Chains A and B, each alone.
Chain A
Amino acid sequence: MAESDPVKTGVVGLDAILGGGIPRGNVIVVEGRAGSGKTTLGVEFIYRGATEFGEPGLIVLFEVSPIKVIRDAAQFGWDLPDLERQGKVKVIFTTRSVLQQELQQADSLLLAEAARIGARRMFIDSLPPLPVDGLNGHDGNNGGAREMFHTLVQGLHRENLTAMLAVESPGLERVRHATPPVEEFIADTLIVVRIEDVQRAASRSIEIAKSRGHHFQMGSHSFRIVDGHGLEVYKRVQAPRSMSREMAAAYDPTTRVPTGVSGLDELVNGGYFLGSTTLVVGVSGVGKSVMALQFIAEGARRGEHSLMLSLDETPAQIMRNGRTIGIDLEPDIARGVVRVQYDSPQEIEIDRHFAQIERVVEEFKPKRVVIDSLSTYGSTLGSSKRIFRDFFHALVALMKEHQIAAVYNHENPEILGMSSMAGEYAMSSLVDNILLLNWVELSDEFRLAITVAKMRANPTKRVTRECEVVDGEGMRVLPRQIPPAALPFSAYYGLVSRSPERHASRAPVQE
């Protein structure tokens, strides 16, 4: 019964983490300190039950006056008074001791109210933190608190109500796995909500610490309280997704996606594979975003859905940049072939951000995606390289699952030459193709060089070729033999090693 008839919370993203819902009849404890979102979660549990799943519910309050809960709920668009008029919800104010007595009485007034509206759910807000086993509570009465919690749970079981109990946790996080408090033993489902300081910002997280009778996604997931809507939970980026995503690969070795950069397709055997991951590495201003725009514009020209995800520049700036190289994306956006999505890198929450990318990929179904740039993620996510790698891994798996040719720009800090392909993030092994864009100082000028450093499952010459960005036209890779105004790269050696030198007596290579 529990497996086939779970109680859905209706909270965006939460049921997916709960494996579809919570087994009916489970006593759910939501633990968190003040302001962590316990009441909003509980009220939404009741509201969604009444409006989306035909399950009336009771809200029992001890401290907050119902009028305030009703007012706060209205901010999310939840009209509790209307649901009360319809007999789908009832908000009751009482005390903890009365509730305890009521749950011990066969003719309980509270349960009679619940029966009157056919309640299937109950939210109780809130219980004080129960003492850690063997220690006294605030009132020095461990046994009393324990007894009260037992009575409460037994009463709820008897009535077959799926109840959510908010439990205040102390200001400081309890040391988990030491001696868990009483409610953690007795509760069937334990949800911990937290609000944490992250580099002067606040970040909310939710964790299913325990839940009897079903599978759920462990770990700490992000959530937000969204005005006009309620809670939105974002599965942690590291959490496993579907098996199809886990097993995804660039499994079509014939279809190539042209780059849109004149002369580049020749170097990459006609284009990138579908489902492949390409890293374009270079110092700032070297032309990575220009290449990206041309890749997107080429997709639009072919009628392929093309998506540009930017952390660096707003859509307006991207449009302006495009126009300077003869690319006008606006008509393609208007006809729905191109989408440009921007997210501010300030205070980015990686789980939410990844959920947004998942959503747009699933809805828009692009064939090409550009991410500009990975280095901004690196700097935004702070010192944790592990989080960056997990995010990038998840991104690559998502793109492969949807067989998208994905191009990731990555800023390398070295202005001349390169000593590593992807800097400190050690992600080279995850990518199929690596293109190095590099300045070469020859005589008194910087000239632009491109090297295909890696092409998985492809023959690669690994030659370094000159390229240029022409106003109104964009980037093009020059032929190996160029007109003799300047000596071609083939007249030099050591182009990427920061010390190019001219061959003493070698003539330029003829192709």
Chain B
Amino acid sequence: MAKGPRFQHLLTSIGVLRHPCDLDLLLFFHRHPHALLTSDRLAAYVGDDLNQTARSLDLLTDAGFLKRSQNPTHAARMYVLQTSGTGWLTSLIDIASTPDGRKSLLDAMKEASEAEASLAESTQSDVLRRTRRRTSVS
């Protein structure tokens, strides 16, 4: 796909988006920059399961894209999109605003995720191989 490298570059600069739910949540918070919601309502809005939504929320929060209130006595939390210095969000939204763009973005995210997994796997194999060699030499 011709657009692939462009999306890869965008995703590389964003750095963290790997799952469709990550993207959907980011787009949701773009439309609702201050949202006071329960996580099950959020999961329903983005159309994903509660566990994945929770993982994606953690990911976006850890990456600094999202700020959320920490009050265990409240069922709902206040989510505030942190947009300062994130001009890439506009590009991302432009691309994701069409079905083709969104599909391409998701494909690129999948590729990035698979490449990352395979890299992790090969790194792990190398480590195992080196460990075995060291053991046999000794």
Contact = CB atoms under 8 A, between A and B. Distances in A.
B71 A107 contact: yes
- Chain B contact-residue range equals 10 to 19
Contacts, number: 59
B74 A109 contact: yes
Contacts of B75: 98, 101
A109 B34 contact: no
Given A94-B76, A98-B37, A98-B38, A109 B71 contact: yes
Highest count of chain B CB atoms <10 Å: which of A68, A92, A93: A93
Contact of B32 (A65, A98, A102, A107): A65
B95 interface: no
Given A107-B73, A109-B78, A95 B37 contact: yes
A92 B36 contact: yes
Nearest to A93: B32
A67 interface: yes
A105 B73 CA distance: 10
A137 interface: no
A397 interface: no
A65 B37 contact: no
Contacts of A65: 31-32
A454 B13 CA distance: 87
B69 interface: yes
Interface string A87-109: 00011111100110110010101
A98 B36 contact: yes
Nearest to B33: A66
Interface string B12-39: 0000000000000000001111111110
B41 interface: yes
A293 B66 CA distance: 70
Contacts of A390: none
B31 A66 contact: yes
Interface in A164-202: none
Interface in A57-101: 65-68, 90-95, 98-99, 101
Contacts of A148: none
B22 to A, nearest CB: 19
Given A95-B41, A105-B74, A109-B69, A90 B32 contact: no
Interface in B60-81: 69, 71, 73-78
Interface string A409-426: 000000000000000000
A105 B75 CA distance: 11
B7 to A, nearest CB: 23
A90 B76 contact: no
A468 B31 CA distance: 72
Interface in B68-106: 69, 71, 73-78
Contacts of B38: 95, 98
Contact of A66 (B34, B69, B73): B34
A110 B31 CA distance: 19
22 contacts: A65-B31, A66-B32, A67-B31, A92-B34, A93-B37, A94-B36, A94-B37, A95-B38, A98-B36, A98-B41, A98-B76, A101-B74, A101-B75, A101-B76, A105-B73, A105-B74, A107-B71, A109-B69, A109-B71, A110-B36, A110-B78, A113-B78
List of 8 A-B pairs having minimum Cβ-Cβ separation, nearest first: A93-B32, A94-B36, A65-B31, A98-B76, A93-B35, A67-B31, A92-B34, A109-B78
Interface of A: 65-68, 90-95, 98-99, 101-102, 105, 107, 109-110, 113
Given A105-B73, A110-B36, 20 more contacts: A65-B31, A65-B32, A67-B31, A67-B33, A91-B34, A92-B34, A93-B36, A93-B37, A94-B37, A95-B41, A95-B76, A98-B36, A98-B76, A101-B75, A107-B74, A109-B36, A109-B69, A109-B71, A109-B77, A109-B78
